[in-house]
Amino acid sequence: MTRVEVAIVGAGFAGIGMAMALRRAGIDEFVLLERAASVGGTWRDNTYPGIACDVPSHLYGFAAHPNPSWSGTYARGHEIHEYLEHVVDAEGLRDRIRLRTTMQGAHWDAGHGVWRLDTTTSSDPVLGTASEQITAAALVLACGRLTEPAIPQLPGLETFTGPMFHSARWDHDAPLAGRRVGVVGTGASAVQIVPELARTAAHVTLFQRTPAWIVPRGGDAYSDSDRDRFAADPEALEALRADLYAEGEARFASRSGDSTAAAEAEAIARAHLESQVADPALRALLTPDYAFGCKRVLLSDDFYPAVASDAVTLVPSPLERVEGSAIVAADGSRHELDALVLATGFASTRQPYADLVVGEEQTLAEHWSGGMTSFASTVVAGFPNLFVLNGPNASLGHSSSVLMIEEQAGYAARVLRQRAGRVLRLDPDAERAYTDEIAAAAASTRWMTGGCRNWYVDERSGQLTLLWPGTVDAFRARLARADGTEFLPEPALTSTLEGRPA
């Protein structure tokens, strides 16, 4: 059995950021559990053709680890994975990370005031899988919100005769060149995948349920001299990050629903579509009928030209069923395909790990059965000494999610440093008040009023549960106002934990 002060589940941006925050707070007894064979989270799992970040690279990283070596304005997926590997080494975290280790369950032991985690570690075919219970004074769930692919429930899907896989589980051995490939979905992944497939497939059939607002991506490749300048002048790199941060904060207005800003941004999106798609009928099919900002705004310069080319057929209809090699759309059209790519998103509002975590009276999934709630987007009533990163209302629609992760990790590390052996039980009234605060701030935004169905709003409650309905500055200020009174009074306890992670 391993005993630690803090157990962190997940070694993507959130888990690594949490480990860094703990170290800076003087808390060194922690372990990171990662079910995969390497760190990296989303940027390890997603390897589809064309994958890149849609946040400027110099804003998409930890403040303490600027990277002068990004290849361009928008980093490619493999670069971000490599960046996270670099940060792990720079921070000396290798000996704290347990790879191929899965949390099978976690329950709060009220009698001892600790979390007990049941884990399994897969080593190799000879040694098999080992089980171990880890005891931790505090548990941090840094599992990510885009980890479990959402697979559509289509009659006959299992009968499809060719290669079929989700975009986040790309099968690089599947023979797609010269084949008829179907892509289901027109979200953030699809707009990057379709242009790449159009270059090599015999034909691409794109199934669109709802079109997206798309604005020009732009961006440039950085030259060797650019990278040398960034490396030689850290202040210039810091100034660039500050400029990108300010641009992101300004973008909140158009995404959330400021009428003037949204109208200006929508005009840019409409002009972009008109300039790249000459056919008025196709243009109409690609034009959203909901308010700009209601769904995630996408960035692309090559999606529209690909869809407008002879290499792609747009089917503006959801799917109805699958019959062997044929995909039948709801509009009655039938499409013979050799391969099928499901760019259908993730289980975002219903986090898979929630079923595994048992608090004082119920599982986290039961607590969130009406939609995810929290205080400070980080702590949850009924789950002592538990912190959730990238969970309720911690995502952004206008800037870098890493900024939010760093604020959450800083808050969690601060309260852990100050807890003095106490069990931190969130006051349920604090959670209710924060939830009401979120609802009030979200009520007038395009995410709630824009006339679309988006993955930011939980259909069970009708509430905004994924996005923070404000700027990063506002989130930072809100967490700074958390002074400890969000937790119920508790007499100090003497910790029984000792030793370091094995």
CA-CA distances (angstroms) from residue 6 to 20, 134, 210? 13, 10, 43
Cα 4 from chain centroid?
Answer: 27
C-alpha to C-alpha distance for 10 and 38, rounded to whole angstroms: 11
> Sorting pLDDT into bands at 50, 70 and 90, what band is 499?
very low
C-alpha to C-alpha distance for 11 and 39, rounded to whole angstroms: 5
Model confidence pLDDT, tens digit, residues 382-438:
999 999 999 899 999 999 999 999 999 999 999 999 999 999 999 999 999 999 999
Model confidence pLDDT, tens digit, residues 75-99:
999 999 999 999 999 999 999 999 9
Half-sphere exposure of 61 (CA within 13 A, CB side): 31
CA-CA distances (angstroms) from residue 31 to 93, 134, 182, 500? 9, 10, 42, 9
25: phi then psi, degrees, rounded to nearest 5: -90, 5
Instruction: Write down the pTM of the prediction.
Output: 0.95
Report the share of the chain in percent with pLDDT over 90. 91
CB 488 within 8 A of CB 426: yes
Residue with tokens 């898979």: 352
Strand partners, 3: 135
> Sorting pLDDT into bands at 50, 70 and 90, what band is 333?
very high
CB 401 within 8 A of CB 395: yes
Residue 495 pLDDT exceeds 60: no
Give the DSSP letter of residue 271.
H
pLDDT score recorded for residue 491 = 60
> Sorting pLDDT into bands at 50, 70 and 90, what band is 349?
confident
Model confidence pLDDT, tens digit, residues 308-329:
999 999 999 999 999 999 999 9
CA-CA distances (angstroms) from residue 236 to 107, 213, 233, 240, 324? 48, 33, 5, 6, 57
pLDDT score recorded for residue 348 = 72
Residue 124 pLDDT exceeds 90: no
Report the share of the chain in percent with pLDDT over 70. 97
Residue 276 pLDDT exceeds 90: yes
| Paired sense of beta strands 180-184 and 97-98, if any | unpaired
Mean pLDDT of 183-212: 97
> Sorting pLDDT into bands at 50, 70 and 90, what band is 160?
very high
Mean pLDDT of 163-177: 97
> Sorting pLDDT into bands at 50, 70 and 90, what band is 127?
low
pLDDT score recorded for residue 315 = 98
Give the DSSP letter of residue 296.
P
Model confidence pLDDT, tens digit, residues 279-308:
999 999 999 999 999 999 999 999 999 999
> Sorting pLDDT into bands at 50, 70 and 90, what band is 131?
very high
CB 452 within 8 A of CB 290: yes
Model confidence pLDDT, tens digit, residues 206-249:
999 999 999 999 999 999 999 999 999 999 999 999 999 999 99
Residue with tokens 């998409």: 60
- CATH numbers and ranges of domains, the chain: 2-148+347-440+471-480 (3.50.50.60), 157-213+266-342 (3.50.50.60)
pLDDT score recorded for residue 145 = 79
pLDDT score recorded for residue 493 = 47
Averaged pLDDT of the chain: 95
Long-range contacts of 195-198 (CB under 8 A, 24+ apart): 195/50, 195/300, 195/302, 195/303, 195/305, 195/306, 196/48, 196/49, 196/50, 197/49, 197/341, 198/306, 198/309, 198/311, 198/312
pLDDT score recorded for residue 126 = 62
In the three-class reduction of DSSP (H, G, I as helix; E, B as strand; rest coil), residue 376 is classed as coil
Residue with tokens 């975009």: 167
Residue 123 pLDDT exceeds 90: no
